[in-house]
Each structure stands twice: as C-alpha cells, then as structure tokens.
Amino acid sequence: MYKEVDWKVKGIYKASAPKIYEEIISIGDSYTPQQIVDRARDESTELHKCFEWDDTVAAEKFRCEQARSIIKMLVVHQPEKEDGDGVPIVTRVIVSTNEHNNHYTPIQVVVRNEDAYQKLLRTALEELEAFRKKYRNLSELESVIDSIEELLRGD
C-alpha cells in the first residue's frame, strides 16, 4: 500500500484521495469502472462525492464525453506515407487546442498558425514526458524511454 496517495491535479474532486484509494482497493484485486460507480452509489462513501448524481446534468456531461470521443475518432488515412513497419500512417484531423480538452481545432488550421502549432508541439512533448514517467520502470521499453529522454533534452 502507498503512504501518500494524492490527486494528480488538485481541486477537481472534493474528496480525500487516500480515502478514495482505500474504497476502490477494498472492491478487490481488480475492478471495473462499473464496480466503482456501484460502490459510489452509497452516499456514505467518499467516492460518492466524485460523481454527478443529478441524472440531467450527468446525461449532458456524458454527451460531451461522446462528442470528445467522436472528435478523437476522426482520422485521415495516408497510404502514401508509412511507418517503419510499412503500415499506412493515420492522423487525427481535429486536435485539442487547450489543456482541458474542451476546445478543438482542425489540424489543417493548427499547422498554419505558428502559435497554435507550437502549443500542439508542447502538448505532444508533455504527453511524451507523462508516458516516460508512467512506463520508465518497464525494461522492455528502455530503448523507447531513452529515445524520449533524448528528444526531451533536445539532443
């Protein structure tokens, strides 16, 4: 068990991260999102504080999540370009243009705007750094992690 469980981003949830962690792991050795929601239905749990229980509000938030999913699934196949394994490159046609994923812009617009392009590049580098931190202990990814570190250093 971890000593200091905390929220990655503070202020999003009005609940105790250590208590949430304890409630989730009390479900078992593995669990589904549905099991977590079911546990959170109990108003006495700390988890209950993390969910929207007004069905009208929750439904609208869910539709917004569906819209995000739709945006993320729109791609263009580029058969004339291939990755190292000979697989055609697929590129998203609309990208998030802020850190809260609530504003999106067509990639064609982003690449024509230097500020937007630099922001997208910074976001990509931040995501690589997050990947590096998350998977740095997996020896099978050592060469990938080394490449990411080299890129982040600007070598």
- 98, pLDDT greater than 90: no
What 3-state DSSP class applies to 77? strand
Longest dimension (CA), the chain: 57
Domain contains 97: yes
DSSP states along 97-130: -STTS--EEEHHHHTT-HHHHHHHHHHHHHHHHH
Domain contains 124: yes
Give the number of other Cβ atoms within 10 Å of residue 24's Cβ: 17
- Per the CB < 8 A criterion, the answer to whether 50 and 40 are in contact is yes
- Give the domain extent around 123: 93-153
- Per the CB < 8 A criterion, the answer to whether 78 and 95 are in contact is no
Q: How many Å is the Cα radius of gyration of the chain?
A: 20
The stretch 60-64 carries a mean pLDDT of 95
Prediction pTM value: 0.67
Domain contains 54: no
Domain count, the chain: 1
Domain contains 84: no
Q: What's the pLDDT tens digit per position in 77-91?
A: 877 777 777 777 888
Domain contains 46: no
Domain contains 12: no
Q: What's the pLDDT tens digit per position in 14-32?
A: 999 999 999 999 999 999 9
Domain contains 123: yes
Domain contains 41: no
